[in-house]
Amino acid sequence: MSPSESSRTDAGQPALPSRTHLERLEAEAIHIMREVAASFENPVMMYSIGKDSSVMLHLARKAFYPGRIPFPLLHVDTTWKFREMIAFRDRVAKEYDLDLLVHTNEEGVRQNVNPFDHGSAYHTDVMKTAALKQALDKYKFDAAFGGARRDEEKSRAKERVFSFRTAQHRWDPKNQRPELWNLYNTRVRPGESIRVFPISNWTELDIWQYLYQEEIEIVPLYFAARRPVVRRFDQWILVDDDRIPLRPGEEPEMKMVRFRTLGCYPLTAAVESTATTLPEIVQEMLLAKTSEREGRIIDFDQSGSMEKKKQEGYF
């Protein structure tokens, strides 16, 4: 987005333009990304392939234009992501000449940890949280960008933009560094790290609007299409491959569905929808009566569960 046109006063003197809320949020995110690139030795950007990651990637390209993004992107692959996500990831990495790292918890793969036999909590813990910690330890990143937003969940509303993690990757909500003005404290000791959330102050609507205005490409799963699904726990689950065990008498049916959030396909429910364009998605969203993370099964395990996961190192 280029800042709004400046208006001109009667005297012909150019008046100073005022900025819209998205322009201000964009500038804030770019400032944060540059601060990290300038202050840390070994930063990384978490890349989940979702719409927020698409926005983050776009912001990073802007932050370092005309240069290349000066840090790698890391995708933690649980091996249960939608196939279209992986195809999208690989194509985007090529198109933008990204330094893409993919990490999978090989120990979890050997033990065949999966969401069907082990449940969402254990699967997430092993294939996502533990895998993430493995990757951070392996590459010794001292800063990791995440696309979390404060409007998503209550514990996130209190997290800093620069969120300190101990050498064990733990978050201590009682002992966060005060964050003043745009003066971010980037200092860490060896082994410690900072999780950085440049789009903390964006809302879900802001994300969609920005994707629309900037014409940013997202995984097609966000748009409604006829897809094979089964009904589980009152939610539509995509039959993305033949690893999903069908119950006796269960037949995948073709439904017009889309996804409001993307993760592991067995843990991410589809919603019935006819929205095939961004404006239609926004329109559906404005009429929606459920919040975005509802489609994510992991948040509901227990009251305050996101806060617990975050303390243990989940993003």
Partner 1 sequence: MSTPNDPAESGNTDIAAYLRHQHETGLLRFITCGSVDDGKSTLIGRLLWDSKLIYEDQLAALTADSKRVGTQQGGIDYALLLDGLEAEREQGITIDVAYRFFSTDRRKFIVADTPGHEQYTRNMVTGASNAEAAVILVDAAAVSREGGLLAQTKRHSYLVSLVGIRHVVLAVNKMDLVGYDEALFREITDAYRAFSAPLGFPDIRAIPVSALRGDNVMERSANMPWYKGPTLLDYLETVDVEDARAQLPFRFPVQLVQRPDSAFRGFAGTVASGAVRPGDEVAVAASGEKANIDRIVTMSGDLDVAVAGDAVTLTLSREIDVSRGDVLAAPQARPSIADQFKAHLVWLHAEPLLPGRMYPLKSGTDTAPAQVTELKARVNINTLAEEAAKTLEMNEVGLANLALGKDIAFDPFSENAATGNFILIDRETNATVAAGMIQHALRRATNIHWQAVTVNKAARAQNMAQRPRCVWFTGLSGSGKSTIADIVEKRLHAMGRKTYLLDGDNVRHGLCRDLGFTDADRVENIRRIAEAARLMVDAGLIVICSFISPFRAERKLARSLMEDGEFLEVFVDTPLSVCEARDPKGLYRRARAGELPNFTGIDSPYEAPEGPELRIDGAAMTPEEAAERVLELILR
Among 10, 12, 66, 249, binds partner 1 (CB under 8 A): 66
Contact call for residue 231 and partner 1 (CB under 8 A): no
Q: Output the smallest distance, CB 271 to partner 1, in A.
A: 13
Among 99, 280, 301, 312, binds partner 1 (CB under 8 A): 280
- Identify which range of 43-51, 83-91, 239-247, 284-292 contacts partner 1 by CB under 8 A: 284-292
Residue 225, phi then psi, degrees to nearest 5? -160, 165
| Burial class of 281 by CB neighbour count within 10 A (0 to 12, 13 to 18, 19+) | buried
Restricting to residues 137-156, name those near partner 1 by CB under 8 A: 150-151, 154-155
Restricting to residues 20-39, name those near partner 1 by CB under 8 A: 20-28, 30-31, 34-35, 37-38
Q: Output the smallest distance, CB 181 to partner 1, in A.
A: 5
Residue type present at position 201: N
CA 112 to chain centroid: 25
d(C-alpha 105, C-alpha 296), whole Å: 21
Restricting to residues 161-200, name those near partner 1 by CB under 8 A: 173-174, 176-183, 185, 187-189, 192, 200
Torsion angle defined by CA atoms of residues 150, 190, 72 and 110, in that order, rounded to the nearest 10 degrees: -90
Q: Return the number of the residue (80 or 315) whose C-beta is nearest partner 1.
A: 315
Full 3-state SS string of the chain: CCCCCCCECCCCCECCCCCCHHHHHHHHHHHHHHHHHHHCCCEEEECCCCHHHHHHHHHHHHHHCCCCCCCCEEEECCCCECHHHHHHHHHHHHHCCCCEEEECCHHHHHCCCCHHHHHHHHHHHHHHHHHHHHHHHHHCCCEEECCCCCCCCCCHHHCCCEEEECCCCCCCCCCCCCCECCECCCCCCCCCEEEECCCCCCCHHHHHHHHHHHCCCCCHHHCCEEEEEEEECCEEEECCCCCCCCCCCCCCEEEEEECCCCCEHHHEEEEECCCCCHHHHHHHHHHCCCCHHHHEHHHHCCCCHHHHHHHHCCC
Q: Output the smallest distance, CB 124 to partner 1, in A.
A: 19
d(C-alpha 307, C-alpha 208), whole Å: 26
Q: Output the smallest distance, CB 164 to partner 1, in A.
A: 8
Contact call for residue 122 and partner 1 (CB under 8 A): no
Contact call for residue 307 and partner 1 (CB under 8 A): yes
Q: Output the smallest distance, CB 293 to partner 1, in A.
A: 9
Q: Return the number of the residue (30 or 121) whose C-beta is nearest partner 1.
A: 30
Contact call for residue 134 and partner 1 (CB under 8 A): no
Restricting to residues 36-55, name those near partner 1 by CB under 8 A: 37-38
Q: Return the number of the residue (104 or 201) whose C-beta is nearest partner 1.
A: 201
Contact call for residue 10 and partner 1 (CB under 8 A): no
Among 84, 90, 99, 214, binds partner 1 (CB under 8 A): 214
- Identify which range of 104-112, 139-147, 221-229, 302-310 contacts partner 1 by CB under 8 A: 302-310
Here's the x/- map for partner 1, 240-279, by CB under 8 A: it reads as -------------------------------------xxx
- Identify which range of 9-17, 218-226, 247-255, 257-265 contacts partner 1 by CB under 8 A: 9-17
Q: Output the smallest distance, CB 259 to partner 1, in A.
A: 17
